[in-house]
Structure 1
Amino acid sequence: MNPFSLVMLAIAMSTDAFAAAVGKGSSLDKPHITEALRMGMIFGIVEATTPVIGWLVGQAASQFIENWDHWIAFTLLLILGLYMMYNGFKVPEEEAEKTKQHSLLLLMVTAIATSIDALAVGVSLAFIEINILVASLAIGLATMTMVTVGVLLGRAIGTLVGRWAEIVGGTVLVFVGAIVLYEHLA
């Protein structure tokens, strides 16, 4: 995978977490930088871990499906991208009462929920030549940064931008999947 595709993948993987962070930030009463950094770290660590787990699963299965690996990577990225776009177009739920800080349990569950796509992408990455540690660190760093910024922006911009970020992220995933397919068929 070329460096441009890796950067695009890292950004795409972090957009769903960014969307969640904007929503979480908008539900907080005047979030401080410490809460934003706390959320960024939690989401970043989870998002960096899940592609490695998926990659390990994909490595175990890769010898059995080597001839179709690029099609599998493309299909997974396509499905995930379309799912992210679908979520971005859904009507947001009503806002709850604002709190000062989210619980660790709530943040972990949200981080895991937004990183399921990174797990599937990790499986896809097992079928292409890539350094999974570099990829997972890039995804984790991008997620940490975007979540931190998302929380701080959440109060000001609300859920609308978060929804559009998820739509753009889904589009980027479809684009990266098309590049993977093109590179293997060319």
Structure 2
Amino acid sequence: MNFWELLVIGVGLSMDAFAVSICKGLSVRDLKPRHEVLAGIYFGGFQMLMPVAGFFLGYSFQGLISDVDHWIAFVLLGLIGANMVKEAFSKEEDCGCTDTSFGWRAMLPLAVATSIDALAVGVTFAFLKVNIWEAVGIIGVTTFVLSAAGVKIGNVFGAKYKSKAELAGGVVLILMGLKILLEHLGVLG
């Protein structure tokens, strides 16, 4: 995978964290730069850790399933993306972050919850023999920037961008999964 493909995946994966960051921004009355930095560190950090864990998990099973790895990548990215699209159209308005705190007790569960998808993507990276360190660097920095921006956007504009972010992220992941499958089937060059 090249830089641009990894960047697109990073943006897609960061949309859950971006949406939650918007909600965190909504909950803050007196926004300070540290709020934006903390959101970026928590969400970006976990978006870096989870693909590494998934990569080594997938790498250990790679020899057993190398003939169908492209199908696994397609299914995993497709399911993650479809779930994000479904959440974007959900009528539920809860942001999942009623706690206005940016302390570890509030942020850690949110960071873990928004990075579970990245674990599955890490498994996919193992099958595709992606340079994991380059990938997690791009994903982490992208998520850091979008999460920090999300806090600011949420504080200024409100919740109107949350569902759009989830929809965009879901579509991106579905399209990346489809691209991987079509390349391995020889449809795309």
- Give TM class, smaller chain: over 0.9
Query: Residue 154 and residue 129 in structure 1: after superposition, are their counterparts in 2 closer, same or farther (change >3 A)?
Result: same
Instruction: State the alpha-carbon separation in 1 of the partners of residues 98 and 130 from structure 2.
Output: 44
Cα deviation digits, residues 132-184 of structure 1 (max 9, x gap): 11101111100100000000111222222021101100000001101111111
d(CA) in 1 for partners of 2:94, 2:75: 30
3-state SS in 2 of match to 1:28: coil
The answer to whether the Cα contact below 8 Å between 1:78 and 1:173 also exists between their aligned partners in 2 is yes
Aligned to 1:62: 62
3-state DSSP of counterpart to 1:127: helix
User: Is residue 2:91 matched to residue 1:93?
Assistant: no
Partner Cα separation in structure 2 for residue 185 and residue 132 of structure 1: 24
SS of the residue corresponding to residue 158 of structure 2 reads helix
How many angstroms apart in 2 are the aligned matches of 1:96 and 1:48? 22
Who is 2:9 aligned against?
Answer: 9
CA deviation map 1:94-135 (0-9, x unaligned): 898784x43211101000000000001111111103101110
| Matched length | 185
Q: Which residue of 2 aligns with 1:24?
A: 24
Residues 28 and 98 in structure 1, CA contact (< 8 A), matched pair in contact too:
no
Q: Is the 8 A contact 2:38 2:102 kept in 1?
A: no
Unaligned runs of 5+ in 2: none
AA paired with 1:112? Answer: V
**Are residues 41 and 96 of structure 1, via their aligned partners in 2, closer, same or farther at CA, if it must alter by over 3 Å?**
closer
Contact 2:74-2:181 within 8 A present in 1 as well: yes
Structure 1 segments, 4+ long, off by >3 Å, are 94-99
Q: CA deviation at 1:5?
A: 1.4
Aligned residue number for residue 159 of structure 2: 159
Q: Secondary structure at the match of 1:126?
A: helix
Which stretches in structure 1 are left out of the alignment for 5+ residues? none
Q: Report the CA distance shift for 1:6/1:95 in structure 2 as closer, same or farther (over 3 A).
A: closer
Aligned to 2:142: 142
2:118 aligned with 1:114: no
Q: Normalising by structure 1, report the TM-score.
A: 0.94
| Residue 30 of structure 1, CA deviation | 2.7
Q: Partner amino acid for 1:149?
A: A
What is the root-mean-square deviation in Å for CA atoms of aligned residues?
1.7
Aligned to 1:179: 179
How far 1:57 sits from its partner (Å)?
Answer: 0.5
State the partner residue of 2:53: 53
Q: 1:59 to 1:109 in 2, by over 3 A?
A: same
